[in-house]
């Protein structure tokens, strides 16, 4: 039963990963902490999972032509460099017993900011949303990549939940391009981040591989779902999942982990039901116009 649970969990999170352009770690890390994993174990396990989901999602986004390769390389190289600064910071926190509350609080601050950013983006007109600069600032890309790499290693996330909203807000990428480019950047950053922990942190590789196995199935499907959504809708849904994850982390800090799990589960269920209905309506419209 436990084997099936982690496999399905990996599959569900990876669908969200492919759809939103995040590695899945920003959902998995707090979930594992809700399940009782220590922050450092949750971080390392999530990085391994993110590596699998980002690779799977990239293949689909390549076909959809959603990846801005040059921009992704700049973001990725700066992110890789900053991963080396984050690991000593995390080990410092763990050695002093500060990781149990510093990491969740870091999550709360970041999720609050990006939830607000993507909600505002979703409220913008379609005309403004789709404007994209021909040559985004390299300095901005370096800063965003470095910040994402640091957060990736600190929180056990791919960095996509940072790259996507910042790319939309400050680089002018339309959400679908930001998502595809984010997954490519994550695939560059995460292996370095994972290896920085792998030799010193003990994790349950059986659970990790079950999560990855489920993840390899779902990420490509999630990427394909973006075809059925407008950019505006994707921004609003991304804001929603940030808020749900943020609330679950806060509830965990006040010893209401079960309530947090239920809340996050409800949002994930809403996303899947909404997506199924949307795909069905799209196909019905195609038949009606044929």
Q: What is the pLDDT of residues 15-47, one digit of tens each?
A: 887 787 665 676 787 778 777 888 778 888 888
pLDDT for 165-199, tens place per residue? 888 888 888 888 888 898 898 888 888 878 877 88
Q: Where are the domains of the chain?
A: 13-289
Task: Please report the DSSP string for 59-124 in residue order.
Answer: HHHHHTT---HHHHHHHHHHHHHHHHHHHHHHHHHHHTT-HHHHHHHHHHHHHHHHHHHHHHHHHS
Please give the pLDDT value at position 270: 92
Predicted pLDDT of residue 125: 44
Residue pLDDT, tens place only, 49-74? 887 777 777 887 888 888 999 999 99
The per-residue pLDDT for range 98-150, each reduced to its tens digit, is: 766 777 787 788 778 877 777 776 666 444 544 554 467 899 999 999 988 88
pLDDT band at 78 (very low <50, low <70, confident <90, very high): very high
Yes or no: say if 148 and 75 are a contact pair by the CB < 8 Å rule: yes
């Amino acid at each position: 039963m436990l084997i099936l649970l982690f496999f399905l969990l990996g599959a569900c999170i990876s669908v969200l990963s492919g759809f939103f352009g995040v590695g899945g770690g920003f959902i998995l890390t707090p979930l594992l902490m809700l399940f009782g994993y220590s922050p450092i174990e949750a971080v390392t396990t999530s990085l391994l999972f993110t590596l699998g989901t980002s690779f799977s999602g990239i293949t689909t986004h390549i076909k959809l032509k959603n990846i801005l390769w040059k921009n992704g390389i700049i973001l990725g190289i700066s992110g890789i460099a900053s991963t080396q600064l984050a690991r000593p910071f995390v080990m410092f926190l763990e050695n002093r017993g500060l990781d149990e509350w510093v990491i969740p609080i870091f999550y709360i601050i970041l999720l609050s900011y990006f939830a607000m950013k993507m909600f505002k983006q979703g409220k913008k007109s379609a005309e403004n949303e789709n404007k994209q600069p021909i040559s985004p600032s390299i300095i901005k890309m370096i800063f965003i990549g470095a910040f994402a790499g640091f957060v990736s290693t600190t929180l056990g996330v791919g960095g996509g939940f940072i790259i996507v909203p910042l790319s939309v807000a400050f680089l002018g990428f339309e959400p679908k391009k930001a998502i595809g480019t984010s997954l490519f950047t994550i695939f560059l950053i995460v292996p370095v981040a994972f290896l920085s922990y792998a030799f010193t942190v003990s994790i349950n590789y059986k659970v990790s591989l079950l999560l990855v196995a489920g993840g390899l199935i779902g990420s490509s499907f999630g990427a394909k779902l973006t075809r059925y959504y407008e950019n505006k809708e994707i921004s609003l849904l991304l804001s929603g999942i940030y808020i749900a994850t943020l609330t679950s982390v806060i509830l965990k800090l006040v010893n209401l982990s079960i309530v947090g799990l239920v809340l996050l589960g409800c949002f994930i269920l809403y996303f899947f039901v909404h997506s199924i209905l949307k795909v069905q309506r799209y196909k019905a419209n195609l038949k009606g116009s044929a």
